[in-house]
Amino acid sequence: MTDQRIRSIVIVGGGTAGWMAAATFAKLLGPDYARITLVESDAIGIVGVGEATIPQMGIFNRMLGIDEDEFVRATKGSFKLGIEFRDWGRIGDRYYHPFGKFGVDMKGVSFHAYWLRAHLAGAPERLDDYSLNALAGDAQKFMRPVDAGNSPLSQIVYAFHFDAGLYARYLRGYGEAHGVVRQEGKVVDVARRAADGFIEAVVLESGERIEGDLFIDCSGFRGLLIEQTLGAGYEDWSHWLPCDRAVAVPCSGVPGITPYTRSTARTAGWQWRIPLQHRIGNGHVFSTRFMSEDEATAILLANLDGEPLADPRMVPFRAGHRRKFWDRNVVALGLASGFMEPLESTSIWLIQSGLARLMNMFPDRSFAQGTIDRYNRVMTHEYEQIRDFLILHYHATERDDSPFWNYCRTMDVPDRLKEKMRCFADYGRTFRDEDELFNETSWFAVMHGQRLRPRTNDPLAEVMALDETRARLASIRAAIVNRLRFLR
Ligand X SMILES: Cc1cc2nc3c(=O)[nH]c(=O)nc-3n(C[C@H](O)[C@H](O)[C@H](O)COP(=O)(O)OP(=O)(O)OC[C@H]3O[C@@H](n4cnc5c(N)ncnc54)[C@H](O)[C@@H]3O)c2cc1C
In angstroms and rounded to an integer, the radius of gyration of the C-alpha atoms of the chain is: 23
Q: Is 436 in the site for ligand X (CB under 6 A)?
A: no
Q: Is 52 in the site for ligand X (CB under 6 A)?
A: yes
252 neighbors 307 (Cβ within 8 angstroms): yes
Angstrom distance (rounded) from CA 354 to CA 189: 26
Task: Say how far residue 413 (Cα) sits from the centre of its chain.
Answer: 21
Q: Is 476 in the site for ligand X (CB under 6 A)?
A: no
Closest separation in Å from C-beta 20 to ligand X: 8
b/e burial code for range 166-183 (CB count within 10 A of at least 16 → b): bbbebbbebbbebbbebb
Closest separation in Å from C-beta 140 to ligand X: 20
The residue from 6, 9, 11, 16 that contacts ligand X (CB under 6 A) is: 16
Q: Is 47 in the site for ligand X (CB under 6 A)?
A: yes
Q: Is 389 in the site for ligand X (CB under 6 A)?
A: no
Q: Is 103 in the site for ligand X (CB under 6 A)?
A: no
Q: Is 296 in the site for ligand X (CB under 6 A)?
A: no
Q: Is residue 65 classed as helix, strand or coil in its secondary structure?
A: coil
Q: Which amino acid is at 259?
A: P
Q: Is 353 in the site for ligand X (CB under 6 A)?
A: no
Closest separation in Å from C-beta 346 to ligand X: 6
| Residues of span 172-211 touching ligand X by CB under 6 A | 186-187
Q: Is 18 in the site for ligand X (CB under 6 A)?
A: yes
How are beta strands 8-12 and 214-217 bridged, if at all?
parallel
Sheet holding 214-217, edge to edge: 181-184, 35-40, 8-12, 214-217, 330-332, 326-327
Q: Which amino acid is at 16?
A: T
Angstrom distance (rounded) from CA 267 to CA 277: 30
The residue from 23, 118, 156, 348 that contacts ligand X (CB under 6 A) is: 348
Which residue stretch of 46-54, 100-108, 432-440, 465-473 sits at the interface with ligand X (rule: CB under 6 A)?
46-54
Q: Which is nearer to ligand X, 114 or 290 (CB)?
A: 290
Q: Is 219 in the site for ligand X (CB under 6 A)?
A: yes
> In DSSP terms, which residues pair with 467 in a beta bridge?
none
The residue from 29, 44, 123, 378 that contacts ligand X (CB under 6 A) is: 44
Q: Is 17 in the site for ligand X (CB under 6 A)?
A: yes
171 neighbors 23 (Cβ within 8 angstroms): yes
Binding map of ligand X across residues 137-166, x = CB under 6 A, - = no contact = ---------------------------x--
Residue 324 annotated as catalytic: no
